Amino acid sequence: MKLLRDILIFFIFGALIGIQQIVNSNSLEPEIIDYRTIPFEIKDGWVCIPEGEHELTVGVQAKNTKKMYFYLTPTGTNTASQKVLIGESEGRKGIFTVNHIFKENESILYHFSVDYENKKYKETDYLFNIVRCE
């Protein structure tokens, strides 16, 4: 009987801890931990896209985040209104990804930014710049 009681207490505490983790993920501010690009790497805050049509994959690791939106904004003065949504992700195990194809003759000079959120908070971050290489 004591063993049954101990097992029951163990499961109750385990359930409460699990519930607390779910509550924390919705009540803590979302935070970006890391981000990477494939197949072109970020160097000194820039991703260089060679001539031709190329796909760029961006992966962002975040915690306390339920959804992420990905944007390209032309560089320059007063360009915030030209921000273009290129994708959104609900993520898997804290990893949020987007794939974007840059067209062969596209002029490329962008800021890459994200909006990320949970039920209580929404954050915005600029991550890097993207340029066409010659």
Q: What is the mean pLDDT of the chain?
A: 87
pTM (2 decimals)? 0.78
Q: Is residue 38 part of a domain?
A: yes
Q: Is residue 16 part of a domain?
A: no
Structural domains counted in the chain = 1
Residue 108 has pLDDT above 70, yes or no: yes
Give the number of other Cβ atoms within 10 Å of residue 102's Cβ: 19
Tokens of 110: 């962008």
Can you give the CATH number for the domain in which 49 is found?
A: 2.60.40.10
The rounded distance, in Å, linking the Cα atoms of 63 and 69 is 15
The percentage of residues in the chain with a pLDDT greater than 90, rounded to a whole number, is 76
Q: Is 7 left (phi over 0), alpha (psi -120 to 50) or beta?
A: alpha
Q: Which domain holds residue 61?
A: 29-132
The rounded distance, in Å, linking the Cα atoms of 119 and 38 is 30
Q: Is residue 34 part of a domain?
A: yes
Q: Is residue 2 part of a domain?
A: no
The percentage of residues in the chain with a pLDDT greater than 70, rounded to a whole number, is 80
For 29-43, how does the pLDDT look when each residue is reduced to its tens digit (9 = 90+)? 999 999 999 999 999
pLDDT computed for residue 86 by the predictor: 98
